[in-house]
A and B are shown apart, each in its own frame.
Chain A
Amino acid sequence: MNIQLTRRSFLRAAAATLGLGALSACAAPAGAPASGDAGAAMEAVEIAWYEWGDVLDKEIADRSIADFQAENPHIQVRLEQAPGQYYDKLQAALAGGTAADIINNQTWLWQSFSAKGVYQPLDELQARDSYDTPFPAAWDSVYETQTRFRGELYGIPWNMNSMVIFYSKKPFDNMGLDYPTDDWTYEDFVQLTMDLTGEVDGQQQFGYQTNSSYERLACWMRLNGDKEWDQEIEPREALWDTPAIMEFIDFQLYACINEFGVSPTPAMMEGGNNQIDSGNVAMKMEGPWFFPKMACREWSCTEEAMAENYVPFGVAQLPKASNGTRAHMVFGHVLLMNSRTEHPDETWEFLKFAGGEGAQKYVAQSGRQPVTPDFNERLWKPSTIEKWGLENPQPLIDAFESGILHLAGEVDDRYITAEAYGPARDRMVAGDADAFEVVPELNAKIQGLLDEYWASQG
């Protein structure tokens, strides 16, 4: 068929198409209730949930949403996942007024958004419903800094994890050494890193895999009770150049790589080589999200992959300092309510569900730790033993007793790392200078950033 289309008729058709397109854009979205639907007992509402883009996150979210919707058929939850540049995309969405109703943030990064009024304080809703499920008294000290800011409650805990020493059993067996136990000391740890390093069957084995990011270094810095800030929430003073802190930094960032050679360099680890899950590194500090890596070298495991790549492993608390104290990073994710949500009640309903057993059982099955000691004992421990082959997960629960958060506020670790810590760390890791040379200069730089921030606050 040969259709003759004049220019005029083409233009008319194009204009009509554009007009219809514009009209259809104004139409109610599918699933939205028709106005004046007197028959419906409760008006159907759709809320959106902004989540991380991992496969595992999707599994947990999908199951939680399905159960929530079964209980609350009038509320539809739409999952929005960001596979990368999570906070940049969130910021753009917030600026554009298109951010989701429920927003997942790490427990130390949401405070800078809250300071700008992005999130809704939840105290009134919490008091109204007497909702305290995910706020166990035993973990008050951990939650105080990670769910509240400037005196108000913002975050509903979604998962809360501790970081402990993961050890791969084979390197210990190779050297005929005992696995670490919770009563070990810092001196034991340092000695073990050296005893475990050496050549085995022609292949280099390392005692320890250091991690140089600040949020993983803070627990080492605070091992003996010292702190690198006057307070970790909105600090005013940097105390990184305290002698004991510099000593701990020096081992983690400089000596273990450049002086003792007990940890592979970042270049050696590039591309997944010489890491604990590759089998030739004995110890690394990690959290429960790392189970799949030990089990199959991926972030999400199939049974076949586990059968092929499983690395037998165990966990122990971080060693005690000479004065008997120790510290563990304990952090995770909170769900927050967008202060511009048009559906605060429905959003609150979902937040309550997320902190309860209905959703927490799925968190527990993923390997990540749920948000109460009770959920950990009943839901997480049995599934962890069975699913990941970890004989004794208890250290991950016990670590909460000495749990710390490194830093939160408008001056957050992203800013400190990019502007000061990152370049200084690179110098130490590269072996250009040790901590005693670098840290005093770093401390001054960080103090400058704090001073600049507080000056801007008037």
Chain B
Amino acid sequence: MPGRELKPGRSAVARRQAWEGRIFALPFILGFLAFWLYPMSYSVYLVFQDWDLLSPPSFVGLDNIVELFRDESIGISLGNTSYYTFIGVPLQLVLALALALLLNVKVRGLAIYRTLFYLPAMTPIVASAIVWLQILHPEFGILNSFLRNFGIEPVNWLFDPRAAKPAFILMTLWGVGPQMVIFLAGLQGVPQSLYEAAEIDGASRSQRFLFITIPMISSITFFNLVVGVIASFQVFTTAFIMTRGGPQNATLFLVLYLYRNGFQYFKMGYASAIAWMLFVIIVAFTVIQFRLASRWVYEEGAPA
């Protein structure tokens, strides 16, 4: 390139640095290719195959995709997952924001409170599932003991199909620490001058919350919403450990059903079809959220 000729010495250094860069990046690139791109591509291939893991795959055309529309359990698991997501995620956001507001005031021991609320998120999910099995125990669980104080009859949380999904949603509320921390960061980024100006104009506390805080943290809310919906659609471990999809398929979530097909029924092709259906659903909801975001998410510096 005219005017950009490198001196011979610098060129060698640059080449060496480029190689070093490639070598340092190699572990990630290899990992990405081997453990991400290849399995994903292979699962696309499997959508059109019948494969039991033990004998060679055989081409079945669109059979697995057609089966998605015929399979009654897909409807059940999709319904359960949607219920869990569309009731659970808004509740998570409300609770996380409420906790963040509480922890956004200057009180003694604030760091301790923040740590305590974040701690459940650090608990391994298997351990928390075991703990929740005890909490939700119909006879000796502390949740029913607590409810008895208010004259509420014990609930068969994980044995009653009407109570099982609410129980799972309740569990997710225990782990809102990360969302709370993100909200907290957002709240601390709201300029104090806005509140002062509003106060001078006579805005009440609730008006300041509704017309300053909520819009100013809307991008944070949006982030938590998108991430929450994605994570919620992928719920698996807790149901796998605690209920195995029961009672009466009330906690048969989509990923659990995918797992059953792949690793218990030897239907890896159909499991891949379910996986890609889930991917399409998640992408669709994410795109919809991004499309709607322009109506309610405030971004500083964006054109009005």
Query: Do A414 and B264 form a contact, CB below 8 Å, given A91-B54, A95-B54, A426-B161?
Result: yes
Query: Do A423 and B246 form a contact, CB below 8 Å, given A270-B139, A271-B140?
Result: yes
Specify which chain A residues have a CB less than 8 angstroms from the CB of B265 in the assembled complex.
Answer: 415, 418
Q: Across the interface, do B264 and A270 meet the contact criterion of CB distance under 8 Å?
A: no
Size category of the binding interface on chain B: 20 to 34
B186 within 8 A of A: no
A430 within 8 A of B: yes
Specify which chain A residues have a CB less than 8 angstroms from the CB of B55 in the assembled complex.
Answer: 116-117
Q: Across the interface, do A11 and B20 meet the contact criterion of CB distance under 8 Å?
A: yes
B208 within 8 A of A: no
Q: Across the interface, do A422 and B139 meet the contact criterion of CB distance under 8 Å?
A: no
Which of A51-59, A146-154, A223-231, A260-268 lines the interface with chain B? A260-268
Query: Do A426 and B54 form a contact, CB below 8 Å, given A267-B138, A267-B139?
Result: no
Interface residues of A in 97-150 (CB under 8 A from B): 112-113, 116-118
Q: In the complex, A422 Cα to B73 Cα: how many Å?
A: 13
Specify which chain A residues have a CB less than 8 angstroms from the CB of B114 in the assembled complex.
Answer: none
B23 within 8 A of A: yes
Interface residues of A in 265-283 (CB under 8 A from B): 265-268, 270-271, 273
Q: Across the interface, do B53 and A426 meet the contact criterion of CB distance under 8 Å?
A: no
Q: In the complex, A88 Cα to B256 Cα: how many Å?
A: 14
Specify which chain A residues have a CB less than 8 angstroms from the CB of B54 in the assembled complex.
Answer: 91, 94-95, 113, 116-118
Specify which chain B residues have a CB less than 8 angstroms from the CB of A117 in the assembled complex.
Answer: 54-55
A377 within 8 A of B: no
Q: In the complex, A427 Cα to B248 Cα: how many Å?
A: 7
**Chain A contact residue count (CB 8 A cutoff):** 30
A436 within 8 A of B: no
A271 to chain B, nearest CB (A): 6
A372 to chain B, nearest CB (A): 32
Specify which chain A residues have a CB less than 8 angstroms from the CB of B263 in the assembled complex.
Answer: 88, 91-92
Q: Across the interface, do B248 and A91 meet the contact criterion of CB distance under 8 Å?
A: no
Q: In the complex, A426 Cα to B161 Cα: how many Å?
A: 9
Q: In the complex, A265 Cα to B265 Cα: how many Å?
A: 30
Query: Which of A88, A112, A271 contacts B137 (CB under 8 A)?
Result: A271
Hey, what's the 0/1 contact readout for B250-280 against A, CB within 8 Å counting as 1?
0000000000100111100000000000000
B245 within 8 A of A: yes
Query: Do A91 and B260 form a contact, CB below 8 Å, given A11-B23, A268-B139?
Result: no
Q: In the complex, A11 Cα to B20 Cα: how many Å?
A: 8
Q: In the complex, A49 Cα to B16 Cα: how many Å?
A: 51
Q: In the complex, A271 Cα to B247 Cα: how many Å?
A: 17
B3 to chain A, nearest CB (A): 30
B160 within 8 A of A: yes
Q: Across the interface, do A265 and B159 meet the contact criterion of CB distance under 8 Å?
A: yes
Hey, what's the 0/1 contact readout for A250-261 against B, CB within 8 Å counting as 1?
000000000000
A16 to chain B, nearest CB (A): 13
Interface residues of B in 227-249 (CB under 8 A from A): 245-249
Specify which chain A residues have a CB less than 8 angstroms from the CB of B43 in the assembled complex.
Answer: none
Q: In the complex, A273 Cα to B160 Cα: how many Å?
A: 19
Interface residues of A in 423-458 (CB under 8 A from B): 423, 426-427, 430
Q: Across the interface, do A7 and B20 meet the contact criterion of CB distance under 8 Å?
A: yes
Specify which chain B residues have a CB less than 8 angstroms from the CB of A299 in the assembled complex.
Answer: none
Q: In the complex, A14 Cα to B246 Cα: how many Å?
A: 51
Query: Do A419 and B73 form a contact, CB below 8 Å, given A7-B20, A270-B137?
Result: yes
Specify which chain A residues have a CB less than 8 angstroms from the CB of B246 in the assembled complex.
Answer: 422-423, 426
Q: In the complex, A112 Cα to B16 Cα: how many Å?
A: 57
Hey, what's the 0/1 contact readout for A404-427 against B, CB within 8 Å counting as 1?
000000000011001100110011
Query: Which of A8, A116, A419 contacts B52 (CB under 8 A)?
Result: A116
Q: Across the interface, do A95 and B248 meet the contact criterion of CB distance under 8 Å?
A: no
Specify which chain A residues have a CB less than 8 angstroms from the CB of B249 in the assembled complex.
Answer: 422-423
Interface residues of B in 156-175 (CB under 8 A from A): 156, 159-161
Query: Which of A7, A94, A266, A430 contacts B248 (CB under 8 A)?
Result: A430
A87 within 8 A of B: yes
Interface residues of A in 1-50 (CB under 8 A from B): 7-8, 11
Specify which chain A residues have a CB less than 8 angstroms from the CB of B73 in the assembled complex.
Answer: 419
Q: In the complex, A87 Cα to B55 Cα: how many Å?
A: 17
A456 to chain B, nearest CB (A): 9
Q: Across the interface, do B260 and A418 meet the contact criterion of CB distance under 8 Å?
A: yes
Can you name 7 A-B residue pairings with CB atoms under 8 Å? A7-B20, A88-B264, A92-B263, A94-B54, A95-B53, A116-B54, A418-B260
Q: A117-B55, A267-B138, A268-B138 are in contact. List 9 more A-B contacts (CB 8 A).
A: A7-B20, A87-B264, A113-B54, A265-B156, A268-B139, A271-B133, A426-B247, A426-B248, A430-B247
- In order of increasing CB-CB distance, the 6 nearest A-B pairs are A95-B53, A267-B138, A116-B54, A426-B248, A426-B247, A88-B263
